[in-house]
Structure 1
Amino acid sequence: MLIHLRLTLPSDLTDPVVELVRRHEWSTNVTVQRGVCVEPEGDLVEADVARERVNEVLEELHRIGACERGGVVLTTPTGTPFAAAERLERAAPGDPDDAVIWESVLAEAQAGARPTLSATAFLILAVILAAIAVILDSSILVVGAMVVGPEFSMIGAASVGLVFGRWALVVRSLRLLVLGFAVAVVVVAALSLVGRATGAITVDMVTAPRPQTDFIWHPDMWSFIVALVAGAAGALALAIHKTSTMVGVFISVTTIPAAGNLALGLAFWQGGEIVGSSEQLLINIVGMVAAGALVLAFQRVFWTRLTALADRFVDRRQRD
């Protein structure tokens, strides 16, 4: 798998950048068009680079000032059916599916910490589903509520901010997470009060034994362990862009269900439900942020060496 680099550069940086890209055996299709860029004025340089080595190229581009004075765009081709692409992949140690492009991870984290109307709407809808799951004691609806919830984008952003020392990103993502849950819980609590006033929801529905959903407001040691494992899986999926894995993360932790139960507890003023749900919510968030940060920190230090080692091991086994 290759990454396509498109660079708009001031003319004095063009030759150093072309030399940088050409001296590596894991880059190809280097093209230069001089004087074609209007804003900013300068030259256009394009190249295809093995995904496993993009971070090194970006670090060198930062070092010579190309990222500050020019423009750098990364895209992933849908297909690269030519022989040189296969040679590049063999020359770059590791597997492209294991490659982490840190600039992309940071960009995704920044997007996750940005307040959007759609994320708030999804969060409210997820908490509504969770509240209905509690009322009906339905484990299926609990899973549905977990999948709808968008909260991991904010949790992942906080983990990335901790690892990269982007404290403003940490504050922004956690503030968005807290405010998002507060809005969702208030909205669902208000709807629950309407249901209480009309008789559609009764206190018995909230406090009756619920064998299928009772776990969402009874936190224990396993709640924290699950949060740690889910946070680690989510951070790994975020780093290597395995979006399908995120679904498993969403349905592993009871963040959204706890918020739904909290809203019902507030509407009917049930202290045990309120305290237990709040504890469950806090345990999940803290566990996922901490585990996510640890996994990302480990990847920053050791991942490249581990993937190269794994590549050599697999190569040797295949030759044997």
Structure 2
Amino acid sequence: MLHLRVVCATDRTERVVALLEGDDATTNLVVLPGAARRPPGDVILCDVAREDASLILADLRRLGVTEDGSIALENVELAESHDARRAILAAPGEQADAVVWETVEARTAEDARLSWSYLAFMALAAAIAISGLLTDNAILLVGAVVVSPDFGPLAGLCVGLTQRRSRLVRDALVATVVGLLVTVGVATVVAEAVSALGLVPDAFDFDVGFSSIISNPDVFTAIVALAAGAAGMLSLLTAKSGALVGVLISVTTIPASAQVALAVSFREWDSAGGAAIQLVSNVVLVVLAGTATLVVQRAAYRRRRRRHRGR
């Protein structure tokens, strides 16, 4: 379940309480008249079944609560009571599949912003990826993609395209492009330094191992990128972090960026071109699959929203 806290102007309290009392998916309703100081008003608390959270939040916004008050939502680890079980059963669907759109939008908007910490992680991921390519070490390549936060802006781009939020699309595009440029730049510096110091492993060969695989995209590149984009969006929608880790490992944006830098440093233009195709195709296909997944989920939500209004 989720815990809902509403601060609303006194003249709205009666309507808000009536709304929450009239929804079978709520429980533990508490009203604290005059308890709020900034903004001033009444405080209303309740627990909400996750399946109906977005519907109730939309109803609260329609009442104008956020115009002079606020809405906060947080996860409840345990809600043990007969009435809580009743509220959960009253909400159609399964808790595990429930999507709280407001939290998804807030999370992706934050992850899509360009920040120093984001660039630092991208730079560190680039250094790890270069090391993995030069040593043909799968563990290091997996470590690089897990360290990288590049899926956040891609998810933000999917949400922005679906919701037609131009600012979010712009922020996500800027973060993606700048982040990948930083990755290529750092990887190039590391590759040049390793080469200048004579530290390139004797066994390294562009035509062997992971370097060759990344530089030669094929049909499986498209299959994996599409599946990863859909799985990544589903993991964000349902807050299943375990699936997201698998997505990060499947997407080869960071290894491909590092491969571009490595190939350019060694003047291996064919390898650089292949890696660039791998990189671009991964980004485009992940965004397409993620956006398609959101479109399907949003259509289901809109149908449920119409049924909810018709009660």
Structures share fold, TM-score greater than 0.5: yes
- Aligned positions of 1:180-219 closer than 5 A: 180-201=179-200, 207-219=205-217
- Aligned positions of 1:258-277 closer than 5 A: 258-277=256-275
Q: Which amino acid aligns with 2:96?
A: D
Q: Which amino acid aligns with 2:278?
A: Q
In 2: Cα distance, 1:208 partner to 1:23 partner: 66
Deviations 1:212-231 (A, max 9, x none): 44211211222112111000
Find the residue that maps to 1:290 and give its secondary structure.
helix
Q: Which amino acid aligns with 2:227?
A: V
- Aligned positions of 1:55-74 closer than 5 A: 55-74=54-73
1:303 Cα deviation (Å)? 5.6
In 1: Cα distance, 2:14 partner to 2:274 partner: 63
* Change over 3 Å in CA distance of 1:212–1:259 after alignment to 2: closer
* Change over 3 Å in CA distance of 1:40–1:184 after alignment to 2: same
Does structure 1 residue 144 correspond to structure 2 residue 166? Answer: no
Match of 1:243 in 2: 241
Does structure 1 residue 114 correspond to structure 2 residue 118? Answer: no
In 2: Cα distance, 1:208 partner to 1:241 partner: 39
- Aligned positions of 1:87-126 closer than 5 A: 87-126=86-125
Contact kept, 8 Å, 1:139 with 1:213, in 2: the verdict is no
Find the residue that maps to 2:80 and give its secondary structure.
coil
In 2: Cα distance, 1:11 partner to 1:114 partner: 36
Contact kept, 8 Å, 1:28 with 1:47, in 2: the verdict is yes
Contact kept, 8 Å, 1:138 with 1:213, in 2: the verdict is no
In 1: Cα distance, 2:133 partner to 2:224 partner: 21
* Change over 3 Å in CA distance of 1:233–1:303 after alignment to 2: farther
In 1: Cα distance, 2:210 partner to 2:217 partner: 15
Match of 1:222 in 2: 220
Deviations 1:278-313 (A, max 9, x none): 11110000000110010011001126879xxxxxxx
Deviations 1:3-58 (A, max 9, x none): 11101111111111011100111111111111121111111111111111111111
Find the residue that maps to 1:29 and give its secondary structure.
strand
Q: Percent identity, aligned pairs only?
A: 38
1:140 Cα deviation (Å)? 2.6
Match of 1:23 in 2: 22
Contact kept, 8 Å, 1:127 with 1:188, in 2: the verdict is yes
1:171 Cα deviation (Å)? 1.5
In 2: Cα distance, 1:205 partner to 1:114 partner: 40
* TM, length-normalised to structure 2: 0.93
In 1: Cα distance, 2:210 partner to 2:150 partner: 23
Match of 1:315 in 2: none
Contact kept, 8 Å, 1:133 with 1:213, in 2: the verdict is no
Match of 2:307 in 1: none
Farther off after superposition, 165-174 or 227-236: 165-174
Contact kept, 8 Å, 2:130 with 2:190, in 1: the verdict is no
* Change over 3 Å in CA distance of 1:196–1:211 after alignment to 2: closer
Contact kept, 8 Å, 1:206 with 1:265, in 2: the verdict is no
Match of 1:7 in 2: 6
Find the residue that maps to 1:237 and give its secondary structure.
helix
Deviations 1:203-260 (A, max 9, x none): x766443234421121122211211100000000011111111111011121111011
* Change over 3 Å in CA distance of 1:82–1:304 after alignment to 2: farther
Match of 2:278 among 277, 280, 291: 280
1:262 Cα deviation (Å)? 1.1
In 1: Cα distance, 2:10 partner to 2:103 partner: 27
Contact kept, 8 Å, 1:149 with 1:256, in 2: the verdict is yes
Match of 1:310 in 2: none
Deviations 1:104-135 (A, max 9, x none): 01001111112222222221121212111211
In 2: Cα distance, 1:272 partner to 1:239 partner: 39
The answer for unaligned runs of 5 or more in structure 2 is 305-311
* TM, length-normalised to structure 1: 0.91
- Aligned positions of 1:144-163 closer than 5 A: 144-163=143-162
Match of 1:170 in 2: 169
Deviations 1:120-166 (A, max 9, x none): 22211212121112111222322222222211111111001111111
Match of 1:290 in 2: 288
Deviations 1:181-221 (A, max 9, x none): 1012112211221222221137x766443234421121122
The answer for unaligned runs of 5 or more in structure 1 is 307-320
